[in-house]
Amino acid sequence: MKVIPENLPRAPEPLPSPVFDSHTHLDIVAAERGTAGSGWSAAAQIEAAAKVGVDRLVQVGVDVASSAWGADLATRENAVVATVALHPNEAPRLADLDAAFAEIVALASQPRVRGVGETGLDFFRTTGEGLKAQELSFRYHIALAKQVGKPLIVHDRDAHADILRVLDDEGAPDRVVMHCFSGDADFARECVRRGFHLSFAGTVTFKNAPHLREAAALAPLDQILVETDAPYLTPMPFRGKPNASYLIPLTVRAIAETRGVPLTEVCEAISANGERLLGPW
């Protein structure tokens, strides 16, 4: 049986040194592809990624159900660690934010749960009164990350200044990951100055994203991560097609080319950053 379904992009050339995917949604990939007869289960996705040198994955929660699912998966799959959270666009939809967050708190202390997120602010999909619940939820998650001593994974869409405002106001945790970094060089400098890690998705490969490549070039190598955010943000040349962790090598190669450094050096730095942030898998 083929590891990768025929309707997905072909596998890229394997990396010379293993890296990890700092942000993926194995459950959403499986649901969107359909698991009946396709072989595209979480286990198959993990296998496909390993074949190209992506040997570790971070399964990210976006609500109570996905957070619980990820926490359970991480206890069964050695290649996976989990994060738990209420997504910024989920918080305003909840009838009882405090009750849902209490369930996230209960999950956050599990040893295979290594981070709190994705949380943050999203001014693209949430507007008006919903922004109050979104910011309150973000503050809850910041406090939780500090309480359990785990990294905070930040979702930031069209909200750069307010993300920094809230983090500065609350006091950022020791470890912060800017998921799917989307800012320009100036914003990158502000994040780097605060010690945050910038996680670059397939968007860094897009022709219309020179600002992301500029950010990737200026950030210290020990503050750079890569991610898929699968099934979204598929790197070139497969933009618009479904994404999955096995396509990470395309993004890693783009960052190495942008920085003008050997591919192996970038791989080794990304891998070390993951171990430092999240601990051993």
Task: Indicate which CATH number applies to the domain containing 62.
Answer: 3.20.20.140
* Structural domain includes residue 220: yes
The rounded distance, in Å, linking the Cα atoms of 30 and 26 is: 6
Residue 155 annotated as lining a ligand binding site:
yes
Residue 1 scores a pLDDT above 60: no
What proportion of the chain, given as a percentage, has pLDDT over 70?
97
pLDDT score at 34:
58
pLDDT single digits (tens) 194-213: 999 999 999 999 999 999 99
Question: Angle at the Cα of 94 (from 91 to 96), degrees rounded to 5?
Answer: 110
User: Could you list the residue range(s) of the whole structural domain that residue 156 is in?
Assistant: 21-278
pTM equals 0.96
Domain contains 8: no
pLDDT for the residue 25: 97
What average pLDDT does range 67-82 have in this prediction?
Answer: 98
Is 217 part of any domain? yes
Residue 23 marked as a ligand binder: yes
Domain assignment of residue 11, yes or no:
no
Instruction: Flag the least confident range among 127-131, 167-171, 189-193.
Output: 127-131
CA angle 7, 12, 15 (to 5 degrees): 145
Torsion of CA 257, 259, 262, 263, to 10 degrees: -60
Tell me what pLDDT residue 2 has.
Answer: 61
The answer to whether position 251 is within a domain reads yes
Is residue 211 a known part of a binding site?
Answer: no
Residue 7 placed within a domain: no
What is the rounded CA–CA span in Å between residue 61 and residue 87?
Answer: 8
Question: Is residue 203 in a domain?
Answer: yes
- To the question of whether residue 25 is assigned a binding role by annotation, the answer is yes
Number of domains into which the chain is organized: 1
Q: Are 56 and 23 in contact (CB under 8 A)?
A: no
Kindly state whether residue 84 falls inside one of the protein's structural domains: yes
* Rounded mean pLDDT, 95-110: 98
Say whether pLDDT at 37 is over 80. no
